[in-house]
A = this chain, B = another copy of it.
Amino acid sequence: MKKELEQVGRRQLIAKAGLALGGVVTLGALQACGSDESPATPPVDTPATGPQVADFPYDQHIAAGFQMDTAPIQEAAYHAYYNGGCCHGSYSALLGHLAQKVGAPFNLLPLDLGKFGAGGIAGYGSICGSLLGGVMIINQIVSNADVRGKMMTELMRWYEGNAFPHFVPDAVDVKEIGKTTLDFSAANIGNLQVVPGSHLCHPSVSGWCAAQKVAATSPDKLARCSRLTADVAGKVAELINTYLANGSFTWTALDATSATCTTCHPASAPAKPVASGMACTSCHPTKTTYPHPL
């Protein structure tokens, strides 16, 4: 296989990887991002010249004025979810868009890199995979370390406090049709929204499923998480667009209750210091006022 891959160009190689590992999904993601248009920079067949993968971060390779198209990215992320999970959904949709619209080095990267992140990394319930996929894209692009960190914090903080899902696809995925018991239509989706209260997959998924009285293995859970993946991918595109337009970023401060916690538990305290940027209250609901249990 190695020899065969050496003989094909970059564009074909990415298409082959899509067919082998993600099939309809990854190709679908590319198509949804506008395969009927010529990319701004054609994929290079000889990466000995032009922007390289090691030439990182990649904002230096993005033309002034470039903005990502949020709507096709969301649609691609929703469908990609059904062929590789939440992290693959957001990562491949965002990367596929950049590969088509910007070109190198984004078109030199594997589209399937994010499949490990499904279910909070291999189903472990850690960081929501759609967030991790988005964080990996922000990391690829933003060269200013302070701005980059704040963008990631903003994304995770927005997720904690936002009701999901919002996204309504143009076309329901073929793997979903006829399998859900809940009504995910535009008219009803507002009734299915729950604030996760955490950026972690485990409480986000478990809490939503408990509220809807559906199993975490159900088609309804997949329908929720595929739409959430589109929501997150869209938010990442918006954050990156703001960064590319302004070179900086305004972020949301920690919520007022959690900020009060850090007055007694700053990271700099030798007694019970708290190292965290998360909201405190979702995991520590008995400690929102003082005195509180230890």
Contacts and interface: CB of A to CB of B under 8 A. Distances in A.
Interface residues of A, number: 75
B275 A209 contact: yes
Interface stretch (A54-62, A67-75, A172-180, A238-246): A54-62
A102 to B, nearest CB: 13
Contacts of A116: 135, 138-139, 148-149, 152
A2 B109 CA distance: 18
Contact of A54 (B10, B115, B138, B149): B10
Contacts of A108: 52-54
Given A14-B54, A54-B17, A199-B126, A213 B271 contact: yes
User: What does DSSP make chain A's interface, helix, strand, loop or mixed?
Assistant: loop
Interface string A127-161: 10000000100110000010011101100100000
- Top 8 A-B residue pairs of the complex, sorted by shortest distance between their CB atoms: A125-B276, A122-B149, A56-B110, A216-B267, A216-B275, A216-B273, A124-B277, A202-B276
Interface of A: 1-2, 5-6, 10, 13-14, 17, 46-56, 60-61, 108-110, 112-113, 115-116, 119-127, 135, 138-139, 145, 148-150, 152-153, 156, 199-202, 205-206, 209-210, 213-218, 221, 267-278, 283
